[in-house]
Copies of this chain bind each other. A is one copy, B any other.
């Protein structure tokens, strides 16, 4: 049986675009991985009327579970618990034990910030956070805000609701306890098994994939048992398919057709990201970066992974030409002759990083991220990449990337990651003795 859920994200800061919501996607992902079908995520500001309308909408859509995030703080704009309680017709009571616990946490935080007086307005905020609706289960706080799990109310046609705090760290820490609360566990017990598979390609156009999918639809039986979604971002095309276990053979057929048509662009069929592939292929080799236009983004991305100190030695952000010369040994003459944005300079940057930091592989970028700095021959979006190795010739590449400064920097970072993954791959074919150069 399919269990359906909806997620309600509250907070004017999210609704108004000042803060990027991380909770809706995170909760949806957890639920999907548990085999729950997420139908809707809705975002509202800190207004009880709008929140009530969204809760009613999800109830009307007959979801089995609503998860709300945010609105559990001490300020007056935090009103999720009161709004949920009103909708379910429950009184609120102060959980005195919880109140003392929150008070202790707040005092610990405040002492760090050297606040002192324990005023009545402060106490009022804490008391508010300790309010629990009758009949609901409270979930222990990981910051100052406890969660609340409310069972379904069939007489009102209302599903179970799980109320979680807004700070992502608190929400995520609370999640294991939350899914074990009685109201949530009861809903989860009803779910069936759904599979999800992901194919990732780099450098494949959405139009070409769409053509392949249309052909597959006309040739395959059972195509409609697959829920296929595609998404293009930063040059990577992701094809995600969800299906019931009985449709596993149908999925294999589709995956085969996609591989026949686009095998050269596919880099992952097992959920790995390009970051995973690089970490795996480095296999003991050490890496360094030499970045100009990406300004540290490649180093930050490589070191984002736990355990990356096993293979990342370091990097140089050579934003100014003097740093290219002083720390990466790029001769001033080469800079003058070819310009900083050139395959020659990118190659020397990577080779300089290789030597200075004594590593096995080094990757470099030099480009024009904009908005200024473009010329007729090297417009904004021109980016040169290079890879230097301890044991084979340097590879260089020039790209013309679209979009604004942020777009050029992100696309360059992704392009560098793919160039690296390809070159490190055990099936990588070297053109012996030559520098490969590809203009796209």
Instruction: Report A's interface with B, CB cutoff 8 A.
Output: 11-22, 24-29, 32, 38-46, 50, 53-54, 57, 61, 73-77, 106, 109-110, 112-113, 115, 119, 121-122, 124-126, 144, 167, 169, 203-215, 217, 227-233, 238, 240, 289, 291, 294-300, 302-304, 306-309, 312-320, 322-323, 326-327, 356-358, 370-373, 402-407, 409, 440
Contact = CB atoms under 8 A, between A and B. Distances in A.
B230 A75 contact: yes
A39 B48 CA distance: 11
Contacts of A213: 75-76
A42 B39 contact: no
Contact of A319 (B42, B240, B314): B314
Given A75-B210, A121-B214, 18 more contacts: A17-B29, A40-B50, A73-B206, A73-B230, A75-B206, A75-B209, A76-B210, A76-B217, A110-B208, A119-B211, A121-B212, A167-B232, A291-B296, A295-B302, A296-B297, A299-B299, A316-B317, A326-B357
Contacts of A304: 295, 405-406, 409
Contacts of A407: 169
Summarize A's interface: helix, strand, loop or mixed: mixed
Contacts of A24: 17, 43
B75 A12 contact: no
16 contacts: A13-B238, A15-B28, A17-B28, A39-B50, A41-B43, A74-B207, A75-B209, A76-B217, A109-B205, A112-B440, A122-B211, A303-B319, A304-B405, A309-B319, A312-B319, A314-B320
B297 A240 contact: no
A124 B402 contact: no
Contacts of A126: 207
Q: In the assembly, how many copies of this chain are there?
A: 2
Contacts of A294: 300
Contacts of A32: 16-17
Contacts of A309: 319-320, 373
A40 B54 contact: yes
A53 B43 contact: no
A423 to B, nearest CB: 20
A313 B307 contact: no
The 4 A-B residue pairs with the shortest CB-CB distance in the complex, in nearest-first order: A295-B303, A296-B296, A296-B299, A17-B25
A211 B327 contact: no
A306 B371 contact: yes
Given A40-B43, A229-B77, A407-B169, A208 B122 contact: yes
Nearest to A128: B210
A300 B295 contact: yes
A300 B303 contact: no
Given A40-B50, A73-B210, A18 B238 contact: yes
A264 to B, nearest CB: 10
B314 A317 contact: yes
Nearest to A43: B41
Which of the listed residues A53, A169, A295 has the most CB atoms from chain B within 10 Å of its own CB? A295
Given A74-B210, A214-B125, A317-B289, A12 B296 contact: no
Nearest to A218: B121
A404 B171 CA distance: 13
Contact of A307 (B73, B109, B372): B372
A53 B60 CA distance: 10
B13 A240 contact: yes
Contacts of A11: 229, 231
A127 to B, nearest CB: 12
Nearest to A40: B44
Contacts of A289: 296, 317
B50 A28 contact: no
